[in-house]
Amino acid sequence: MLILLPPSEGKTRPTAGTPLDLDALSFPVLTPVREQLLRALVKLCNGQQKRAAEVLGLGPTQADAIAINAVLTEQPAARADEIYTGVLFSALDLSSLDDASRQRADTSLAIASALFGLLRPADRIPAYRLSGTVTLPRLGTVAGRWRTPLPRVMADAVGDGLLVDLRSGTYTALGKPPAELAERTATMRVLHEHDGRRKVVSHFNKATKGRIVRGLLESGAEPRTIDELQTALADLGWTVERAGSRLDVVVAEVALT
């Protein structure tokens, strides 16, 4: 099973550590695109700050992000699961897992990234600022750079197993699962049901997905089909309904952490 996670805009900047080593990252076939994007991002942020802010969609209070990007190759790196600090990752809380569950996380999770394509939790990266919606000067859209190599990497990584795609729309656009994985690709939606009505709540959606992934890792479940995934989630206590390749997790209480 391969579980694809979105990144988080919020990142923790390491205070110490060796700099980024692209050759040490997982999925080495992605290295050429990583190099292109990294060079373009660093060059942009070493130019006019106003221009860099416009391209990256940053406001006047985010000048520090441009300054960090400008020297990104010199910044200390840390595990990706320590860099990303958004709601999903807080709920997932990989650092508190037991050794067996943590090992499963390192081999079954992959994190989408506008700059790096896909990362394993143990891959060491610096804190950076680049969204999947950005168009870099002379290089074009970030999504356009990833659209060809990512589907093949997904196929190779999942093998004959199940792909669970929990990425947001922005990061799904970097590369959709290839057609041959269609019957083995599950997506997921979290619905809050109250007074007979259901709705998606973004913040709660992310936290719940983090807890769901944590539960799968702790249980040691290895579903190979969407039906088996639905059963595994039900065994963990979730109410799950299937709609084609999508699993709807229906909850009655909203817990934001």
Write down the mean pLDDT value for the chain.
94
State mean pLDDT over 183-200: 88
Q: Tell me how many domains the chain contains.
A: 1
C-alpha distances in Å from residue 247, one per residue of 169, 203, 232: 16, 18, 12
Q: Is residue 193 part of a domain?
A: no
Q: Say whether pLDDT at 152 is over 80.
A: yes
Q: Is residue 257 part of a domain?
A: no
The share of the chain scoring above pLDDT 90, in percent, equals 88
Q: Is residue 254 part of a domain?
A: no
Q: Is residue 235 part of a domain?
A: no
- DSSP 8-state assignment for residue 178: P
Q: Is residue 238 part of a domain?
A: no
Cβ(79)–Cβ(123) below 8 Å: yes
Domain extent for 146: 2-85+94-185
Q: Is residue 243 part of a domain?
A: no
Q: Where are the beta strands (DSSP E) in 173-213?
A: 185-194, 197-199
Tokens encoding 103? 């090992």
Q: What digits encode the pLDDT tens for the residues 198-226? A: 887 776 889 999 999 999 999 999 999 99
pLDDT of residue 254: 58
The torsion angles phi and psi of 164, rounded to 5 degrees, stand at -110, 105
| Distance (Å, whole) CA 28 – CA 119 | 10
**Residue 158: CB atoms within 10 Å:** 22
Q: Is residue 54 part of a domain?
A: yes
pTM of the model: 0.94
Q: Say whether pLDDT at 145 is over 80.
A: yes
Q: Is residue 190 part of a domain?
A: no
